[in-house]
Each structure stands twice: as structure tokens, then as C-alpha cells.
């Protein structure tokens, strides 16, 4: 009895793999998981303390639907100082995770038959959010040998195109777009009067590069909707805390959806977000240092065994070309069933990923070494 809207949306491939790995573990199998994009670190203590203290002093009631004013102001201050965005607290909507913000945005700006540009490969839920809003995703190829930059973007713009989705640092590739790439996208958005959704959830997990917000570029302030959150940078995935800043008409539409659906983000969780932004940042820096060490080991070893993989500039994913051994779907299944290593088939992220697998290195160095040994035994 599913609706036609729901039938357009596929099951999340990343969650599916994680569930399969969980079932094997329940059977007593030791599975090395490279599947879920979740930091394996504990949330920093001062953030936990702030949320607990808020709960115990009675901050367990509804908050304003748009979020606590103190948190909205703290986010706006962060966006002004770090991202060079001209934002006030009143421009910020606090959401239960960045994913919720993305769905609310798609439902606000897309109509049936509209088109949204996705760069292939792209995170699995962009496609689903576009389809759920009744619109159609249009996939633009990228160059795997050149930081997965979009190729011939303007050729894919039609009179139905409404927006371009940008994710840098990106999932599943870890690619970080440089200033010129972002400027090219911005110029096309301006020329064709398009919106840009800039998903910057991985901005803090970046290596030897500078994070740039496309919304800070000339002419992009009013046409860019910037989404971010606390899950990746502060190891707060289960807290479900994200945010979005948008111009007033889009903001009001998203707020309407939020007020009629989830009402508000959990109140005491928002106090944790204030502590994350205004408290010590050293724990985040330590996490990034550890992610770098894991990245270097994983990429070097994959390439050494003949699995081609570009060095990612950010996030905590390796997007590895396994075409020497088979297509990504078969290799992912083989690794899980024969080697008990969980990876995600690259096809989950778009047609161009068919010869790839995604490995999340959000797991310990010891487990990465064990997983690499199993992969080598299974494939080499």
C-alpha cells in the first residue's frame, strides 16, 4: 500500500550494508566494517556535560521550532567568522541532523517535474530527497582522476533545472573542490538563475587544503542554502543536530515543514551544540589528526595491492577502483561473505561508481590493518 512517492525512493545502500554486517555479527562472525560514515570517537566530555546539565535543570520542554536563540546566534557567529557568510541568527534553522535540513529544503523549493543537478558519484540520500519532492535528479559526470570535478556541467542545464547540489569535502569520494571549481559552479548558477545547496558537513575533516563556502562568493549569498551539522566534526552522530541558513522565503518554507513535522530539535541536545561551538576545539583537532593517519595507511596499502585509489582531501572515505578484480557490486558482496569485510558498492552513489567500492576509515588503525589483510587475501 505504499504511495507512488515512496516507490520512487530506493533503500539506503549504506544502511543496508550495515544491517547485513550486524546480522553476521549476531551470528558470531567477526566483521571488519568500512561501511558507515560515523566517527568511532566518543563525543567530547564538555559537550555531554552541557547537555546533561541542561536536562537536569529542566530543559526538557519544547524549544522554538527554529531552535534556541543562543544556538542560532552561535551558529551565525561561526558562519560569519569561518565561512565568510553574511548571516544573522534569524537566518539559521536548527534541525535534527543535516539530512533533515536537506529533505526540508528539497520539499520547499522543488515541484513535480523539476530537475536537480547531482555530481556523479554523490551521497545516496540526495537522489532520494529529490525524488521524494517529486523532482528528477540529473547526474553530471565527474573526473575520477581530477578530484572528481564535474565535467561539462552547463550541458546538463535545462529549462526545468532548479538547483545544483554541491558537497565539498564530499561523500563518497573525499574530494575537496578548489576555488576555481566552485567559481565555475557559481558562475553557471548565476547565469541560469539556479539555487545551490551546499552541504558542508565534512568541512572540519580536511587535510592540507582550505575549505571554501560557495555561498561566500560574489553573487551567491541569496542563491546558496548552506547545510551543516555537528555529527562528523564533533562525533555527535546519534545526537541528531544540524542546521541550515537560507534567505527569508526559503527559510520560512523550511520552518513551515519543520513546525508541522518534527516541531523542534531536542532541547537539551541544542545546549550540547552551543558547547560544541563555543567550547574547546582541541578534541576535534585530535580526531582529524587520527583520521589523517588512518587515511594515509589505507590509501597507501590499497594502491600497493593494486587497488587504485586517489588520495582524498577530506572526510573519511576512500573511493577505490576495483575494476582490475571485478565490478564494485560483486567485489562488495565477495568481501562481505568471504572475507567478512563490509564495504559499500560504488554503484550506490551513481552510475559512475560501478567499478568502485567506498571504504570508511572511521575505525581504528588496528581494524583497518586487519581489514586490509583480509582484502588482500580475498582478492590478490
Q: Where are the domains of the chain?
A: 4-43+282-379, 45-278
Alpha helix (H) residue ranges in 262-312: 267-278, 282-304
| The CA-based dihedral angle spanning residues 260, 261, 264, 266, taken in that order and rounded to the nearest 10 degrees | 160
User: Measured in whole angstroms, how far is the alpha carbon of residue 223 from the centre of its chain?
Assistant: 20
Rg (CA), the chain: 20
Per-block average pLDDT, block size 10, for the chain (380 residues)? 78 71 86 90 98 98 98 98 98 98 98 97 96 97 94 97 98 97 98 98 96 98 98 97 98 98 97 98 96 98 96 97 94 93 94 96 96 95
Does domain 4-43+282-379 bear CATH number 3.40.50.2000?
A: no
Cβ 151 vs Cβ 141: under 8 Å:
yes
Q: Alpha-carbon distance 35 to 359, whole Å?
A: 6
Neighbour tally for 357: CB within 10 Å: 30
44 burial level (CB within 10 Å; 0-12, 13-18, 19+): buried
- Please give the Cα distance from 227 to 101 (Å, whole number): 7
Max intra-chain CA distance, the chain: 59
* Fold assignment, 45-278: 3.40.640
**pLDDT (0 to 100) of residue 103:** 98
Dihedral over Cα of 298, 300, 305, 307: its sign: positive
Contact 76, 89 (CB under 8 A): yes
Q: Judge contact between 68 and 271, C-beta under 8 A.
A: yes
Q: Name the pTM for this structure.
A: 0.94
Alpha-carbon distances, residue 210 vs 89, 169, 171, 236 (angstroms):
25, 10, 17, 23
Please, are residues 36 and 14 in contact by the beta-carbon 8 Å criterion?
Answer: yes
Measure CA 225 to chain center.
15
pLDDT at residue number 380: 83
Distance of CA 322 to the CA centre of its chain: 23
3-state SS, 126-160, equals HHHHHHHCCCEEEEEEEECCCCCEECCHHHHCCCC
Instruction: Please report the pLDDT score of residue 159 as a whole number.
Output: 97
According to DSSP, the residues that pair with 197 across neighbouring strands are 165, 225
Q: Output the pLDDT for position 206.
A: 98
Amino acid at each position: 500500500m505504499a504511495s507512488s512517492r515512496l516507490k520512487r525512493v530506493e533503500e539506503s545502500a549504506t544502511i543496508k550494508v550495515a544491517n547485513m554486517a550486524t546480522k553476521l555479527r549476531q551470528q558470531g562472525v567477526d566483521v571488519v566494517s568500512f561501511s558507515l560514515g560515523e566517527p568511532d570517537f566518543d563525543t567530547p566530555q564538555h559537550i555531554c556535560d552541557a547537555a546533561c546539565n541542561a536536562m537536569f535543570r529542566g530543559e526538557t520542554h519544547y524549544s522554538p521550532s527554529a531552535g534556541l536563540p543562543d544556538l542560532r546566534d552561535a551558529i551565525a557567529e561561526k558562519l560569519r567568522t569561518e565561512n565568510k557568510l553574511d548571516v544573522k541568527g534569524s537566518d539559521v534553522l536548527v534541525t535534527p541532523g543535516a539530512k533533515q535540513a536537506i529533505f526540508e529544503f528539497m520539499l520547499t523549493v522543488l515541484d513535480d517535474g523539476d530537475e536537480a543537478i547531482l555530481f556523479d558519484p554523490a551521497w545516496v540520500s540526495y537522489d532520494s530527497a529529490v525524488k521524494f519532492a517529486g523532482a528528477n535528479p540529473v547526474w553530471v559526470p565527474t573526473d575520477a582522476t581530477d578530484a572528481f570535478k564535474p565535467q561539462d556541467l552547463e550541458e546538463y542545464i535545462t529549462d526545468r533545472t532548479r538547483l545544483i547540489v554541491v558537497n565539498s569535502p564530499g561523500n563518497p569520494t573525499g574530494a575537496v573542490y578548489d576555488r576555481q571549481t566552485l567559481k565555475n559552479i557559481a558562475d553557471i548558477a548565476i547565469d541560469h538563475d539556479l539555487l545551490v545547496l551546499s552541504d558542508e558537513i565534512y568541512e572540519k575533516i580536511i587535510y592540507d587544503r582550505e575549505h571554501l563556502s560557495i555561498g561566500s562568493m560574489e553573487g551567491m549569498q541569496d542563491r546558496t542554502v548552506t547545510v551543516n551539522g555537528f555529527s562528523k566534526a564533533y562525533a555527535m552522530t546519534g545526537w541528531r543536530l544540524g542546521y541550515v541558513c537560507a534567505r527569508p522565503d526559503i527559510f520560512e518554507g523550511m520552518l513551515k515543514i519543520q513546525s508541522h513535522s518534527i516541531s523542534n530539535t531536542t532541547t537539551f541536545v541544542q545546549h550540547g551544540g552551543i558547547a560544541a561551538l563555543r567550547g574547546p576545539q582541541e578534541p576535534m583537532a585530535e580526531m582529524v589528526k587520527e583520521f589523517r593517519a588512518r587515511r594515509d595507511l589505507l590509501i597507501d596499502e590499497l594502491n600497493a595491492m593494486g587497488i587504485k585509489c586517489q588520495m582524498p582531501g577530506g572526510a573519511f572515505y576512500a573511493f577505490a577502483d576495483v575494476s582490475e578484480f571485478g565490478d564494485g557490486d560483486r567485489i562488495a558482496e565477495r568481501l562481505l561473505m568471504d572475507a567478512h569485510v563490509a564495504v559499500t558498492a560504488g554503484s550506490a552513489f551513481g552510475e559512475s561508481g560501478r567499478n568502485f567500492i567506498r571504504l570508511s576509515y572511521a575505525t581504528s588503525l588496528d581494524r583497518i590493518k586487519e581489514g586490509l589483510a583480509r582484502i588482500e587475501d580475498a582478492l590478490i
